[in-house]
Amino acid sequence: MKAAAFRYARATDAAHAQALLAEHGEEARLLAGGQSLLVALNLRLSEPAILVDIGRIGHAEIEARDGRLRLGALATHAAIGRSAAVAGAAPMLAQAVPHIAHPAIRNRGTIGGSLAHADSAAELPTAAVTMDAEMVIAGPDGVRIEAAQDFFAGWMSTTVNGDELLVAVRFPIPRAGTGYGFVEVARRDGDFALAAAAAQLTLDESGRIASAAIGVASITDRPVRAGAVERQLVGVLPTRASVREAAAAIVEEVTASDDMHATHAYRKHLAAVVTARAVTAAVARAS
């Protein structure tokens, strides 16, 4: 299929993009890397009256300072994956990037596009929720900050209003000794995850888990933190048995129903498996 007819406007800067969004409202769609949007247009799942191209407005910075890693919304997956700043400041993010689709898509796709698209099976939204990222959103009333856990409102839905623009995402830089892991299971290399888990944790002097952040993808309508798993892990000596027991708590949060890719029961099984593997990898790195 081919896309329905639409008009095209190239924004010169963020203010121009916001003005175009305010003018056209729900009839407008933002075009960044276009790796999800163009597919939706060709399948006529989306039929906007106008595309607002924000690909040349800047906001592609990657910088670590003042305890945060700041990624401009137009930073590409490939740029993030090869960045020394990302590898040093947020290695779990660097580990997640190679799971995103294929190199050609990573060369064009942007972190802002992935977060705004809000697919519950996507890697970067899951990493953002796990790492307590902050979304920097520009609108008519100025800039506001939204916590990642509040940003995702549901299936492919966020809290960004029609006249607002996601311009950056900020990740707190973990303290030294923090371990991380990202594990994904997909039908084929490059497919969206049937289930994925991200883990970030620290150990105390006795080797017990002092803090834990676990995010899981593709089990509900948005990326979620596995609060029950986190609570069960804290204070525990991470043996194979204790990690598997804690990871099993994630099955209560699996709400995704049967679909063409997996059954509800299989996703519950996978969610526990990837959670346990991600935690195990994080423990090994923290040690």
pLDDT, tens digit (0-9, with 9 covering 90-100), for 98-151 = 999 999 999 999 999 999 999 999 999 999 999 999 999 999 899 999 999 999
Q: Give domain status of residue 2, yes or no.
A: no
Specify the pTM.
0.93
The pLDDT of residue 1 is above 80: no
Instruction: Give DSSP secondary structure letters for 190-241.
Output: TSPPSEEEEEEEEE-TTS-EEEEEEEEESSSSS-EE-HHHHHHHTT----HH
What pLDDT sits at residue 287? 81
Q: At which of 172, 188, 219 does a domain end?
A: 172
Decide if 193 contacts 208 (C-beta within 8 A): no
- CATH number (domain holding residue 80): 3.30.465.10
128 and 230 assigned to the same domain: no
Q: Give domain status of residue 41, yes or no.
A: yes
188 and 231 assigned to the same domain: yes
164 and 248 assigned to the same domain: no
**3-class SS at 158?**
strand
37 and 68 assigned to the same domain: no
161 and 84 assigned to the same domain: yes
214 and 272 assigned to the same domain: yes
164 and 250 assigned to the same domain: no
Q: At which of 172, 200, 221 does a domain end?
A: 172
Q: Give domain status of residue 237, yes or no.
A: yes
- Please tell me the distance from the alpha carbon of residue 122 to that of residue 191, in angstroms, as a whole number: 10
Q: Give domain status of residue 1, yes or no.
A: no
275 and 190 assigned to the same domain: yes
User: pLDDT of 197-232, one tens digit each?
Assistant: 999 999 999 999 999 999 999 999 999 999 999 999
164 and 71 assigned to the same domain: yes
Decide if 106 contacts 99 (C-beta within 8 A): no
Q: Give domain status of residue 40, yes or no.
A: yes
What pLDDT sits at residue 257? 87
165 and 208 assigned to the same domain: no
- Please tell me the distance from the alpha carbon of residue 133 to that of residue 236, in angstroms, as a whole number: 26
- Please tell me the distance from the alpha carbon of residue 10 to that of residue 198, in angstroms, as a whole number: 36
Question: Whole domain around residue 100: which residue ranges?
Answer: 62-172
- CATH number (domain holding residue 41): 3.30.43.10
User: pLDDT of 173-188, one tens digit each?
Assistant: 999 999 999 999 999 8
For 121-133, the three-class secondary structure string (H helix, E strand, C coil) is CCHHHHHHHHCCC
- CATH number (domain holding residue 193): 3.30.390.50
Q: Give domain status of residue 281, yes or no.
A: yes
68 and 46 assigned to the same domain: no
Q: Give domain status of residue 196, yes or no.
A: yes
Q: At which of 53, 74, 89 does a domain end?
A: 53
**3-class SS at 175?**
coil
Q: Give domain status of residue 136, yes or no.
A: yes
Strands 209-217, 152-154: parallel, antiparallel or unpaired by DSSP?
unpaired
The number of distinct structural domains making up the chain is 3
193 and 263 assigned to the same domain: yes
Q: Tokens in use for 109?
A: 């796709």
- Please tell me the distance from the alpha carbon of residue 174 to that of residue 163, in angstroms, as a whole number: 33
